[in-house]
Each structure stands twice: as structure tokens, then as C-alpha cells.
Amino acid sequence: MSTEPQPLLGRTALVTGGSRGLGRGMVLAFAEAGASVIIAGRKLDAAEALAADVAERFGREALAVAADMSRWEDCDALVDAAYGRFDRVDVLVNNAGASPLYPSLDRLTEERYDETLAVNLKGPFRLTALVGSRMAAAGGGSIINISSVEAARPDPAALPYAAAKAGLEALTVGFADAFGPTVRVNTIRCGMIRAGFVTSHGDPAVVNEAEDVVGAALYLATDASAYRTSATIRLDAGRRR
């Protein structure tokens, strides 16, 4: 069990896409900071393995839930499972993402387009609407949206993903107004990430170490960011085109 300061002690954090890569890093950081964690991912076995690791390493409660963020009903079921187990969610991280490749813009299929928008935008909208409403009723919380440099500087090889992430950043502002001032809603805009889900396009010189993003998420999850909302934290190495 960690002897480090635990600014999230007594709180519960829900992380989508939480079983691998960046999501896994945030789950472990939140648990080390004292939080109970809900690990949502498409593969239940991976989420359960991480939940067991959290319990062993940090002595924190951890719930693994199989959920596909592109499916409205999965978002609803995830919220039911989270509140059924813990009665509260203090931190929500909309981290799950997908950026399928396509041979050319005119050959991008409707199925791939819809899937990209659903995972990156529809799911976070539904989950934030549900959890944010409960947070506001309970007196507060923190919602963190994981965005991408593509939201501001879209690559032709990732246009649906870029559009979804731009929409996610718009949701940050709108939900901050809807649920504020007690519920804080912020964005972390990442460059390429050297962990888990990484697209094959982009400048390899612009790569976030996952630890940088995890550190920003921990800041936004705790009272250290009590007066920050509707903000975008850029972790993109100043990328410009």
C-alpha cells in the first residue's frame, strides 16, 4: 500500500478505456492517490486483471465493467453498475477513443465514420450527461475529457476523429456551464501518446509520454484544480502546421 499523499482518499474515479495504455496509467495513479476506481473497457478480462492489480498494490476497491462507449445502453449500464457499487462518482475520465485508418477520404465507409463519432463523441456525451447530473445533485465532482491535437489541427488521415475530438472540446464548455459551478469539466488535449492506442499518422517527434498526461489528469481530479473549469490543457509540444 502506498505511503504517498492521498488527495483522492474517499473518492471514486471512473475511467473509460481504463484497462490499457493511458487509461491504465490514470487508473493506477488515481488508486495510488487513494481513490476507489471503476475500470470500463471492451475487454472484461483485461479490466478485471487491472482491478486485481489495484487491490493488491494499493488496497483500493476496484470494479471492472465491460462497456462499449459507442453504445448508449452500455453507458447507461456502466453508470448503474458504478453507482450500484459505490453510491458515488467523484471523477469521470472520458478516455476511450478510436481512430480507424482509411485508404482515402472517398473510401471511408459509413460504418467506420459512425463508429468513430460514436466512441469519441456520442459515448462521452451520454456518460457525462448521466454522471454530471448526479455529481451536481451530490455537490460536485470533476469530469476530464481526453482530446487530441487533431481537434485544432486536423490531419486529412484522421478527419472523423478530429471532428469528434473538436466536438468533445465543445462538450467540455457546454457541460461546464450546465453543471457548474460545483462540477468542473476540463479537457486535456494530447499530442501523440507513447502508450496503448496510438494512430499511425502524426509527427513522431510530437509524442507525449503517458506520465505527462496522467499527471495532468491527477491535477484535474484533485482539489488542486478547484478553480479550473471549462479549460483545455495542451500537452502537444506546441505542435503547429
Return the active site residues. 161
Q: How many CA atoms lie within 13 A of 47 on its CB side?
A: 21
Report d(CA 194, CA 212) in Å as an integer: 11
Distances (CA, A) of 55 to 1, 24, 58, 128, 137: 9, 14, 6, 27, 29
Closest Cα to residue 159, out of 231, 87, 227, 99?
A: 99
Closest Cα to residue 186, out of 152, 146, 130, 224?
A: 146
CB 201 within 8 A of CB 158: yes
Torsion from C-alpha of 24, 194, 223, 140, nearest 10 degrees: -60
Q: How many CA atoms lie within 13 A of 173 on its CB side?
A: 6
